[in-house]
């Protein structure tokens, strides 16, 4: 079980963050956020991907399902 590494990047990207399961690494693109709260949301988002991966849950979901689960977890107060 690999520990998660989180790196912060500056520069324009299409994504706010990305998680690489093969290297247990998450990249957070700071320039794609407007507030610190948004940065925290993205960090949590990528950490959820890592948690699903190391617990074998990522194999049970396709990418779309995983994104929807994370969205609903993070926005439960308004999405459920
Ligand atoms: Zn995601």
Domain ranges of the chain: 5-79
The per-residue pLDDT for 80 is 74
CA pair distance 17, 4, nearest whole angstrom: 14
Identify the three-state secondary structure at position 76.
helix
Q: What is the pLDDT of residue 79?
A: 77
Pure H helices in 1-80:
36-54, 63-74, 76-79
- Distance of CA 32 from the midpoint of ligand 1 (Å): 15
pLDDT of residue 1: 61
pLDDT by position in tens, the chain (length 80)? 689 999 999 988 899 999 999 999 999 999 999 999 999 999 999 999 999 999 999 999 999 999 999 999 999 888 77
Output the CA torsion sign for 13, 19, 24, 28.
Answer: positive
Cα dihedral 54, 71, 61, 33 sign: negative
Widest pairwise Cα distance in the chain = 34
Distance (angstroms) between ligand 1 centre and the Cα of 75 equals 14
**How many angstroms separate the alpha carbon of residue 14 from the centre of ligand 1?**
13
């Amino acid at each position: 079980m690999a520990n998660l590494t989180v790196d912060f990047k500056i520069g324009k990207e299409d994504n706010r963050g990305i998680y690489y399961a093969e290297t247990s690494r998450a990249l957070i693109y700071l320039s794609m956020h407007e507030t610190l709260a948004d940065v925290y949301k993205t960090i949590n988002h990528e950490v959820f991907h890592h948690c699903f991966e190391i617990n074998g849950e990522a194999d049970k979901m396709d990418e779309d399902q995983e994104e929807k689960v994370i969205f609903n977890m993070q926005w439960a107060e308004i999405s459920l």
